[in-house]
Structure formats: C-alpha cells, structure tokens
Chains A and B, each alone.
Chain A
Amino acid sequence: MSPASISFRRPSADRLLYRALAVSAGAVAAILALILVYLTAASASLLFADAGLWRLDWHPSLGAYGLLAMLVGSLTVSALALLFAVPPGLVLAIWGRFFAPPWLGGLYRGAMGLLASIPSVVYGFWGLVTLVPWLNRWAPPGASLLAAALVLALMILPILVLQADLALDEARRRHLPAAMALGASVSGTVRRVLLPTAAPELLPAVLLQLGRALGETMAVLMVAGNVVQLPATITSPIRTLTANIALEMAYASGAHQTALFASGWLLLVLVTLIMLGARAMAGRFGAGPAGEGRGDAR
C-alpha cells in the first residue's frame, strides 16, 4: 500500500471511524447520566422528603441523617488543600522551567511524575503514622482538618506542578523569544507575559485538582479524625462526604444506606457544579485581554 492511500481513505472508513467515536463518547456520557439517575433513585426517599438531610446531626442509629457538617467538611478541606498546594505548585513549576539548570528541571519533573503515581492510600498511611502523631504534639488529637488538608495538598501538588509546567512551557515557546528580543528580564517576562498567557490553562488545572481533592477518600479517612461536626478551628477533626460513605457503607442498611447514597449524590452534584462553574469561568477568563495567544484547545 502506498503512503498516499493512508491519507486518502474511502469516505466510508471515515464514517465508520466517526460512528465508533460517537458511540464511545455517547457511552461515556450515558454512564455518567446513569450514575446520576441511579444515585438519585437510590437516595430519592430521603432526598425529596423532609428527612433532615440539611441538618448538622448525623446519628444513623437514631434516624438523624444530617449531611450539612460533612458537606462543609468536604468543601473546607478541599479549599484549604488548594490554598496549601497552588502557590508552591506555581512557584515550583516556574522554578523548574525557567530558573533551574535544564538537567535539574528535567530530573525534578521526573520526580513529580513519580510522586503523582503514588497511590493516595500511601499518602494517607504516611499521614496516619507520621503527620498525625507529629501534629498531635502541639494540637491534640492531631487527626484534623489541617492534617487532611496537608495530605491532600501533598497529593495534588505533583500533578498541579506538571500541568502548570505544560501550560508555562507552551507560553514560553510562543512568547519567550520575543520577550528576550525586547530585552525583558526572565522574571519580568514570567510575571507579566507568561503567567497571564498561561492563566486560562492554569485555572482548569487547579479546578481539576479541586475535584480530585473533593473525591479523595482513603487518605482523608485516615487522617481527618472523621468526627461529624463543623470545624471550630483548623485543628478540629472533621468528616468528609467520601469518608462517610467509606466508613459506614459496609455496615449500613435501610435508611442509613439511603443516606449514604445521598452523600454520594451530593458529592456528584457538587463536583459537577464546580466543573461547570470552572468552564464558565475559564471561558470568561480566556476571552479577556490576558487571553491573547492562548491555546486553541477549547
């Protein structure tokens, strides 16, 4: 077969490929929709009744299924994790790409890739046997909002660095030579040109990690303390929606199980809303003056 026959296929082959892709994409969307439908159906008896899901007290043995404290726990711990991870992540990405010697930067990115591939349960285990006892020395009981946020921050940092690095590298390829030719300094170029250019790529990266932090279960379960309450301080133990499901699903039945399905439903809706918000925000961000020269991915 000559090479030309590859580029000029029969239209039927294209149509076949199109259909295969459409079926795959449709299947993924349908699975997501089915999960939502299933979760809604499984938790409907509590979700659409006045069952006190939006209250603070969670005592399944007494029929109190308030999810509010855990919703707050999930949101707080994820927001705090982002607060801990995003600034150092950006700094590390910038350092690795622009200020480190190329061999060291490459080595560094390799290490980040390795860190990103460590299962979350390992981070959780480290948190349980090292971080929590250490925190316990000055703020008993150690297992807390802070411990969970630190473990989550550590977990999401590597991928955050790698994604920021990709975005910055793209911006560098487009704009660095021009900036250098104009006599701008590296630090000035990074600050004034490359970061604003990369911003529309950085924001979705950050929000993707927010989704990951919200969904993380084992690592948080091991270090958060899992007490159902609104955190009074940063060293108070909290329980997240995911940890609630993992802790109690194996032993739950009846309305208790339904309430756990409602936890899952709430989480799915929450993550979906955040992702939709992120897209809208990224779209507006990208349309602004800083968005010139952004990637054409969206």
Chain B
Amino acid sequence: MKLVPRNLFFVVTLVAALFAAGCSRQSGEHLVLTGSSTIAPLATVLAERFEAAHPGVKVDVQAGGSARGVADVRQGLANIGMVSRALKADEGDLVADTIAQDGIAMIVHRDNPVAALTREQIIAIYTGKLRDWKAVGGTDAPITVVNKAEGRSTLELFLSHLKLEAPAIRADVVIGDNQQGIKTVAGNPQAIGYVSIGTAEYEAGRGTPVRLLPLDGVEPSTATVAAGRFPLSRPLNLVHRGELSGIARDFVAFARSPQVNDLVTGQYFVPPAVR
C-alpha cells in the first residue's frame, strides 16, 4: 500500500521544515518554498535531489495551501510559492512555471458496458440521485460510489470541477490512496471511482480490470492531461515575483527538467508535455 510513503513524506516535510528552520542562520544559500499541500510532497523530493546536487544549499518546503504560497511570495516570506491551479486574473504580478499536471480519471470495472458519462450523470451518481446503472445505459445493478477521504487533492479537484460540496456526496466506499481505489473498483463490477490519471493508466495498461471513462468527449490519458486538454486536471505551478535569484532560478529549471520526471510520476502527477 502506498499509505506509508505518503505518511513518510508528511514526516519528511515536517523534519525538513524543522531542520531547515534550525539551520536558517547558517551560512550557505537558503531557499524557501511555501504553498499547496498537493505540491509539497513533490517539492520535498525535488528539494532532496537538488540539495544532493548542490552542497551547501538548503531548501525549506512548507505546506499551507495555494493561497499561502501566493501571499508569502508577495510579502517576500518565500522565494517560491507552490500553487496547485492556474494563476487568477488578479495575480498578474506573479510568474508561474508549471512543473507537473495533476489529473484524475473516472474509472469503472472493465466489464461495465457504460462507455461514457456526462458531467450531469456523474454529479447525479455522486450525490445519490442516481442509484442504478440501468439509468445510464448499464446493467440492472446498484451503483457502488467510491469516494476519496477528506483532505486528498484528488477529492478537492473532483469537487471543485463538479462544483460540489463534500457533504453532498453519498459514498458507499471511502478510500485513502489511489491503489486502494483501483483495487476496490477492480473487485466490484458495479463500482465507479476516481483516481490519479497516472495510476489509472498504468494499472489499466498492465491488465487490471478497470476502464477509464472519457470526460466531455476528451480521451482520459496522461497525454491529454499533459497537453492541458483533459477537463479534470490542473497545473501544479511554482510561482515567483520579478527576477529570480541564482539558486532559485536553478531550482525552478531543475524542477522543470526531464531528469526529475521519475519524481513527478512517482507522486502520480504527469510531467508537462513541453519541457
């Protein structure tokens, strides 16, 4: 199960933050990243590899939400902000560099005859108004709604995309990580769920009996997510203000380089198409 690494990243982030806080008065260059808790685990592993390649450099990663990332960069509290969405119109003073795309795919069992669902059907299913597959052209069987636990970025993205509030969801199964979601849907022909698109594509490709549903007519794949065409996706950005200093510029370039693609996919994100 992937829960342990997730927890580990939490601990690593904490330790890194404490350690960096303790070391901040030392000589040597110091870089502070704050913002989205979705990006923080990725930024932490990026920072580890960056520090290994640049002795004497300390990278301090603190999670606190995209809003904090924007605010900290504006106030000069952080060199780089982590923002897990596209910049808004009133954030024109900032520059965003996309280091990864976060996309989620709706998945059903491979034997489920339903080929596609509209946005309204998905909302009806997840709010409990639609309880049977027959109503959407499937077999006469109750729908098992698989939802994510609170706090997960996939849940957040799913809810914001469908404009739903968490209490409106009527779930039958609540899962933690992506693997559990895959296993739950693979073991239940009536289930519908959503997981990170990288995981879903990988599992479907190696023969796990799950199928990814197209959304608004767009094929669900890491390719369409990377191209920014898949609707249920969002960019993961590093934002900054004005010119970046030497080491911060190096870090952003490093985070966008192909040599960290393994770290990006390791966090179930999609590396951007153009590097």
> Which residues of A are interface residues toward B (Cβ below 8 A)?
57, 59-62, 121, 125, 128-129, 132-133, 136, 140-143, 218, 221-222, 225-228, 237, 239, 246-253, 256
Contact string against A for B residues 116-157, beta-carbon threshold 8 Å, 1 for contact and 0 otherwise: 000000000000000000000000011010000111110000
B63 part of interface (Cβ distance < 8 Å): yes
Contacts of B187 in A (CB 8 A): 128-129, 132-133, 136, 142
Q: B10 to A143, Cβ gap below 8 A?
A: no
Are the CB atoms of A143 and B173 closer together than 8 Å? yes
Cα A228 to Cα B180 with chains together (Å): 18
By secondary structure, the A interface counts as helix
Shortest Cβ distance from residue A20 to the other chain B in the assembled complex, whole angstroms = 33
> When the two chains form their complex, are residues A221 and B176 in contact, meaning their CB atoms are under 8 A apart?
yes
B9, B150, B171, B186: which has the most chain A beta carbons within 10 Å? B150
A140–B142 contact, CB under 8 A? yes
Decide: B150 and A239 in contact? CB cutoff 8 A.
no
Asked whether any CB of chain A lies closer than 8 Å to the CB of B94, the reply is no
Min CB distance, A280 to chain B, in Å?
Answer: 37
Interface size grouping (class) on chain B: 20 to 34
Q: Is the CB of A129 within 8 A of B183?
A: yes
Q: Are B174 and A227 in contact (CB under 8 A)?
A: yes
Query: 9 A–B contact pairs at CB < 8 A?
Result: A61-B166, A129-B187, A136-B144, A140-B142, A141-B172, A226-B149, A247-B174, A250-B6, A250-B151
Contact for A140 among B6, B153, B190, CB less than 8 A: B190
Chain A residue nearest to B41 in the complex (CB): A250
What's the Cα separation between A119 and B47 when bound, in Å? 34
Q: Is the CB of A218 within 8 A of B1?
A: yes
Inter-chain contacts of A227 with B (CB < 8 A)? 171-174
From B6, B9, B175, B186, residue with most partner A Cβ within 10 Å:
B175
Q: B residues touching A (Cβ–Cβ < 8 Å)?
A: 1, 3, 6-7, 9-10, 37, 63-64, 141-142, 144, 149-153, 165-167, 171-176, 180, 183-184, 186-188, 190-191
C-alpha gap A141/B109 in the complex (Å): 13
The answer to whether B149 and A248 touch across the interface, beta carbons within 8 angstroms, is yes
The complex places the Cα of A251 from the Cα of B148 at a distance, in Å, of: 12
Instruction: Select A128's contact among B10, B153, B184, B190, beta carbons within 8 Å.
Output: B184
In contact, B144 and A256 (Cβ under 8 angstroms) = no
* A58 closest partner in B (C-beta): B150
Assess whether B173 is in contact with A128, with CB atoms less than 8 Å apart.
no
Q: Which residues of B contact A222 (CB under 8 A)?
A: 1, 180
> Bound complex: CA of A26 vs CA of B63, how far in Å?
39
Quote the shortest CB–CB distance from A216 to chain B (angstroms). 14
> Is the pair A62, B37 in contact by a Cβ cutoff of 8 Å?
no
Q: Which 4 A-B residue pairings sit nearest by Cβ, starting from the closest? A: A251-B151, A133-B187, A226-B174, A141-B144
A239 to B174, CA, bound (A): 9
Given A249-B10, A251-B37, residue A237 in contact with residue B173 (CB < 8 A)? yes
Say whether B176 contacts A141, CB under 8 Å.
Answer: no
Do A256 and B151 have beta carbons less than 8 Å apart? yes
